[in-house]
Amino acid sequence: MALRIIAWGTGAVGREALAAILDSRAGLELVGVKVHSEDKDGVDAGTLLGRAPVGVLASVDSAAVLAVEADCVVYTPRLTSVDEVCAILASGKNVVTTAFLFHPNRIRLRDRDRVLAACLRGGTSVHGSGLNPGNLSGVLPLALSGMSRTVDEVKLQERADWSAYDSTAITFENMRFGRPVDEISPTASDFLAFNSSIFTEHVWLLADALHAGVDEVTATVDAVAAKRDHEIFDHVLRAGTTAGQRWNWVGRRGGRPLVEIETLWTVGNEYPGHWPKPQHGWTLTIEGDPSMRAHFLSLASFKRDASMVEHVNAANVATAMQVVNAIPAVCAAAPGFATGATLPLVRSLIGFGNA
């Protein structure tokens, strides 16, 4: 029988998840859609995607959506809520999310216990993943470590310019690009603290899975100012305001760095000379016996001509599909936390589509 799915959020990633559910030939059936703006309330799920109606109406009423019988909720809101996820899990619905809960054993003790209790009450599991944090900072390093005799250090670097990313609310409001550089820190705002926490979780995930025995995970950021003005969609990023953020989340044992995630983010593509210079995309380096390096790039296509909008959106597709493809495994998992380190290999449910 088909697994009944609710899409909870229809932003950039949520839309791709919604499309994947509607297009699925792998036994996923859309039964509900939770939206967060009044202009989407009552709109058919197909219409939200610019398609023909499919007979499932979106709703801003969380209680009404929660009352719908379903096997799993794909949870992708921009602003997360532990209370909301606990209610979903306790109602008997599994949760896959691209937003948080990547390694619930390393979140605040109070929240961890609440989420676990909700899982046990509902007989459900919760799984957080995506691209980065997600597959590239968890599944890929663990998979490559299968070729290692020993691992001395793991480092993932992400280099990206956000100038073509049209979700300017995230770029300028949440990530605070265009603000004074002294307003950028791991605790400068609720969102920056939250964003830092999910990368910290992933450092712990790798450290725990690979028995690193780290003592601490630290978060630091180097914010740099623009040398000139940049027009980014409907925003102007002024010279002298933040145009670059280099974040480092490092797990150490006895002061020695063992696991690190580094993000090198710019807006306006003014790349500071004192920063490292990996290729655009994601570079994973495992130092050990043997040492390995892999570079990952997500594009709309390597064969056909595609627009920059398509290329940028390819990362949203990858993020969404990592959790959509995990739905059957999460629904089959024992109640509790299902992470990238504990689930079986997540692969495409459709593949070439020949089945």
Task: Name the token pair of 224.
Answer: 């740099």
Looking at residue 355, what is its pLDDT? 57
> Which residues are CB-neighbours of 15 under 8 A, at least 6 positions away?
48, 49, 316
Specify the pLDDT at position 167. Answer: 87
Angle at 319 between CA 317 and CA 323, to 5 degrees: 110
245's enclosing H/E stretch is strand 242-253
pLDDT for res 26: 80
Can you name the residues that pair with 96 across neighbouring β-strands? 74, 127
Q: Are 272 and 288 a contacting pair, CB within 8 Å? A: no
**Per-10-residue mean pLDDT, the chain, length 355:** 96 96 91 97 97 97 97 95 98 98 96 98 98 96 97 98 91 96 96 97 97 97 98 96 98 98 97 96 98 97 94 95 98 98 94 76
Helix (H), strand (E) at residue 219: strand 216-225
pLDDT at 25: 80
Indicate yes or no: pTM above 0.75: yes
Q: What pLDDT, on the 0 to 100 scale, is given for residue 354?
A: 66
CA distance 50 to 261: 37
> Which DSSP string do the residues of 263-282 spell out, in sequence order?
EEEESS----TTS--PPSEE
Closest C-alpha among 129, 146, 267, 155 to residue 207: 155
pLDDT at 78: 86
* 99 torsion bin: left (phi>0), alpha (psi -120 to 50), beta (else): alpha
Beta-strand (E) ranges in 35-177? Answer: 58-59, 72-75, 94-97, 125-128, 150-161
- Between vectors from CA 201 to CA 126 and to CA 218, what angle results, nearest 5°? 170
Q: What is the pLDDT of residue 156?
A: 98
Q: Taking Cα atoms as reference points, which of 247, 248, 233 lies closest to residue 178?
A: 233
* Ramachandran sector of residue 106 (left: φ over 0; alpha: ψ -120 to 50; beta: rest): alpha
Amino acid 353: pLDDT: 81
Decide: residue 56, CB within 10 A, 0-12 exposed, 13-18 middle, 19+ buried. buried
3-state secondary structure of 249: strand
R_g over Cα of the chain? 20
Report the C-alpha gap between 354 and 271 in whole angstroms.
Answer: 45
CA separation, residue 284 to residues 75, 157, 267, 297 (Å): 28, 6, 23, 12
Tokens of 281: 């995309």
Helices (H), 55-135: 62-66, 82-90, 109-122
